[in-house]
Amino acid sequence: MQDVAVGAASLIYAGAVVNAFQVLPGGDALIAQRTLAWPSVFLFACLSLPLLVPFLKRMLARYVWLSFQAGFGQTPISVLTGVGLLAAAALFIYWQVWAVGHGGRYPAGVFSGYAAGIGILAAQAVLVRALETVPEVRAQIEEPPS
């Protein structure tokens, strides 16, 4: 589920960037800076910090494990909820880009925020892979539902 979320979020982001290049004013250099350069800094920070800072790594790994134990990502409802949240975030980005053409503010922050979210999702995916290598955790993951 984590890998699917990262993939879906990345595709949504890529579509939003393509849309931004078609809609936003200011030239390609400005658009690239606001949709790719600065957001990549946030993505990298939100991916690397939870994996490098032990306290953050423990907190995120605990969150991932508790989410698994609660059944998130394992039932149709929880998968649809996750996809719905990604879709809502995508709609927000597209709305922000559209609003610029109608007198709104330049949407630089929304791209950085979404990129940061992708970084956190990617860190969770890495931690899931690490958790799967722990024999006790693996046994619980492979245990058939009762």
Instruction: Give the single-character DSSP code of 137.
Output: H
Within a domain: 100: yes
Residue 53, pLDDT above cutoff 90: yes
Element counts in the chain: helices (H) and strands (E): 7, 0
| Domain carrying residue 12 | 2-141
Q: What is the pLDDT of residues 97-134, one digit of tens each?
A: 888 877 778 877 889 999 999 999 999 889 888 888 88
| Total domain count, the chain | 1
Within a domain: 146: no
Q: What is the pLDDT of residues 55-92, one digit of tens each?
A: 999 898 888 888 777 766 667 787 788 888 888 988 99
Within a domain: 62: yes
Residues 77-82: contacts with CB under 8 Å, at least 24 apart: 79/1, 82/1, 82/5
How far is the C-alpha of 128 from the C-alpha of 131, rounded, in Å?
A: 5
Q: What does the pLDDT read at residue 145?
A: 61
Within a domain: 88: yes
Within a domain: 21: yes
Per DSSP, the three-state class of 143 is coil
Within a domain: 89: yes
